[in-house]
A and B are shown apart, each in its own frame.
Chain A
């Protein structure tokens, strides 16, 4: 069965620091990969996605993620975080083009001003 593992449950950074959130999935075939974000008091929204093509995908608000097939990873990065990036981030996978989208447990990111 497909699964998603997010390595960091809580991350605290200062503004302008660089960010990398880890995400690994378990499935050997074709995958669609997603990062969603939930800002305080708001509903979940899509940050970026990978379906095919260039493994480095860019999303909203300066975020990017790199799909490394050999490592089964889809890590989220941002070179310089802002206080407004404080949120919970979820990695998700759809494996084999089936109907399910499975989410990780999330990473709570807190940016110190």
Chain B
């Protein structure tokens, strides 16, 4: 069976510091991978998605970037965090385009 792991679960970072959130999927190959941000009253905002190694699509211009260095690894990064980057970040994977996606446990980021 497939599993998705996301870490760290919680993170408190000062403004201006870098960020790295990591997500890995096990039990499948060539999954579609997604990063969402969940904020109160704003639902789930799609940030990035990837259909293959090195292929990243950005949905929202912002202070974040994503990379996919390996088939089942998806990394969310920032060089300098802003207060507005605080939130709950969710990684998800799917078998193919348009199909059901499955979420990880999420990472709480607080920028102070």
Contacts and interface: CB of A to CB of B under 8 A. Distances in A.
13 contacts: A32-B98, A32-B99, A34-B100, A43-B105, A44-B44, A44-B90, A49-B100, A90-B44, A92-B44, A97-B97, A99-B32, A100-B46, A105-B41
Contacts of A112: none
Interface of A: 6, 9, 32, 34, 36, 43-46, 49, 90, 92, 94, 97-106
Interface of B: 32, 34, 36, 41-46, 49, 51, 57, 59, 90, 94, 97-106
A45 to B, nearest CB: 8
B10 to A, nearest CB: 14
Contacts, number: 55
A103 B100 contact: no
A103 B36 contact: yes
B43 A104 contact: yes
A46 B95 CA distance: 14
